[in-house]
């Protein structure tokens, strides 16, 4: 028969309780240990990041104008205004057309100007007729005076000869002194008349010159007025005086439109005289100087150039920088063509530099991920940077030559100090 052993049952129970307590303590310890462990570094696909290696050497500081366009130079624009109040009756060329000197762009009409031309023609003919009539009258008067002077001159010559003859006869004792005195007085009187007649003719000729000059002035005025009206009439056929492209006016003219004198009715731009107008951020434009070299990308070729003007005004956070083109324009280069441009500010020699990070400004301290030598992971490090260019930035502290850092946007890992790369 079986014998009951209560002491064995108690021992077994105590053993189970002991083991259960040990297991519970182990579980609690494991939980505490796991809780104290740092979270595992996140894994990042290495093909999705943009790494670059720190280098030492020369770095060219540049600024970029990503929004720019080709615009006409100041000496390449011909703006054609209407010469008189007129009405557009015909448009002969549309914007974008290639024109040459004397190409008719549009036709205007001005009935009042046509009447003014006719009146000016009649006024010129009348003033010319008045001039000729006055000239004939003055010449006739002058001829009469010259005829009278000629008669005086004849009498003067005869009396001079008579006086000389009487003097010889007196010396011979043929005539008396009274006769000689009378002959001499007559000769002296005609000498005075002869001198006065000459002076009178001279004064008359000068008076004729003055009167004819006054009449000629009226002729010249009438002719100038006619020339003005004729030029205005010729300008009713609006023509280009240069070769280029007909541009689009801000307010295009239409057939039947009435335009006033001075209104721009056409604009021609010489295609080979363009410049680049770049929009540069105000914060980057402060270091730009006149004459600095630049490169303009027309997306069909890169053209060298240099800075010629920096607009002092700021619009929407940017300033306009004009770049003169030092090379030939590529095919398809037209006004208002969108272009990109870079301007060289300065050359930094023997400096540490790396590609410009997606986030971060110059002269600041950045937080970048530096890859380990095996490129299997990266740790966050502070990097002090200096002056920046379009694609690179100067490294002042925190990195050394040969280090590899991640330049792409890593803001999603701002809470991580380490990442794994796969």
Which residues fall within 8 angstroms of residue 336, CB to CB, at 6 or more apart?
69, 70, 71
- What distance in Å separates the CA atoms of residue 68 and residue 276, rounded to the nearest whole number? 7
Q: At residue 386, does pLDDT exceed 50?
A: yes
Partner residues linked to 379 by β-bridges:
370, 418
Burial track 179-202 (b if 16+ CB lie within 10 A, e otherwise): ebeebbebbeebeebbeebeeeee
- What distance in Å separates the CA atoms of residue 99 and residue 89, rounded to the nearest whole number? 20
Contact assessment for residue 333 and residue 354, using Cβ atoms and an 8 Å cutoff? no
Contact assessment for residue 339 and residue 298, using Cβ atoms and an 8 Å cutoff? yes
H/E stretch holding 293: strand 293-297
**DSSP, res 96:** T
Domain boundaries, the chain: 46-72+273-421, 83-109+236-269, 112-234
Helix (H, G, I), strand (E, B) or coil at 65: strand
**DSSP, res 105:** E
pLDDT at residue 167, rounded to an integer: 61
**DSSP, res 403:** -
| CATH code linked to domain 83-109+236-269 | 2.40.50.100
With a threshold of 0.95, does the pTM exceed it? no
**Backbone torsions φ then ψ of 68, nearest 5 degrees:** -145, 175
Residues 46-72+273-421, CATH architecture: Beta Barrel (2.40)
pLDDT, one tens digit per residue, over 49-92 is 899 999 999 999 999 987 899 998 888 888 999 999 999 999 99
End-to-end alpha carbon distance in the chain: 73
H/E stretch holding 201: helix 177-234
Q: At residue 186, does pLDDT exceed 70?
A: no
């Amino acid at each position: 028969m079986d014998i009951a052993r209560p002491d064995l049952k108690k021992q077994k129970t105590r053993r189970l309780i002991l083991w259960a307590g040990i297991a519970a303590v182990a579980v609690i310890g494991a939980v505490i240990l796991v809780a104290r462990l740092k979270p595992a570094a996140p894994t990042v696909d290495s093909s999705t990041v943009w790494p670059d290696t720190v280098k030492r050497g020369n770095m060219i500081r540049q600024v970029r104008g990503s929004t720019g366009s080709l615009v006409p130079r100041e000496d390449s624009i011909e703006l054609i205004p209407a010469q008189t109040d007129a009405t557009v009756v015909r448009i002969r060329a549309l914007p974008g057309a290639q024109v040459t000197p004397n190409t008719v762009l549009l036709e205007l009409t001005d009935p009042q100007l046509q009447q003014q031309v006719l009146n000016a023609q009649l006024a010129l003919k009348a003033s010319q007729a008045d001039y000729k009539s006055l000239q004939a009258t003055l010449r006739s008067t002058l001829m009469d005076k010259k005829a009278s002077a000629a008669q005086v001159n004849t009498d003067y010559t005869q009396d001079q000869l008579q006086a000389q003859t009487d003097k010889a006869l007196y010396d011979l004792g043929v005539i008396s002194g009274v006769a000689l005195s009378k002959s001499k007085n007559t000769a002296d009187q005609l000498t005075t008349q002869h001198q006065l007649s000459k002076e009178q003719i001279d004064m008359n000729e000068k008076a004729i010159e003055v009167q004819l000059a006054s009449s000629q002035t009226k002729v010249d005025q009438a002719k100038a007025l006619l020339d003005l009206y004729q030029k205005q009439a010729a300008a009713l056929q609006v023509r280009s005086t240069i070769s280029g492209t007909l541009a689009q006016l801000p307010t295009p003219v239409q057939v039947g439109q009435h335009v006033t004198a001075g209104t721009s009715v056409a604009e021609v731009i010489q295609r080979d005289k363009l410049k680049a107008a770049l929009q540069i951020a105000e914060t980057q434009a402060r270091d730009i100087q006149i004459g600095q070299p630049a490169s303009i990308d027309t997306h069909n070729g890169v053209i060298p150039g240099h800075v010629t003007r920096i607009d002092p005004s700021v619009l929407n956070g940017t300033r306009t920088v004009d770049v003169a083109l030092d090379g030939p324009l590529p095919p398809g280069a037209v006004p208002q063509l969108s272009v990109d441009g870079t301007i060289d500010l300065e050359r930094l020699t023997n400096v540490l530099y790396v590609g410009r990070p997606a986030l971060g400004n110059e002269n600041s301290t950045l937080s970048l991920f530096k890859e380990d030598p095996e490129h299997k992971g990266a740790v966050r490090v502070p990097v002090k940077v200096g002056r920046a260019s379009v694609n690179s930035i100067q490294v002042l502290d925190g990195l050394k030559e040969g280090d590899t850092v991640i330049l792409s946007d890593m803001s999603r890992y701002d809470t991580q100090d380490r990442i794994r790369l796969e």
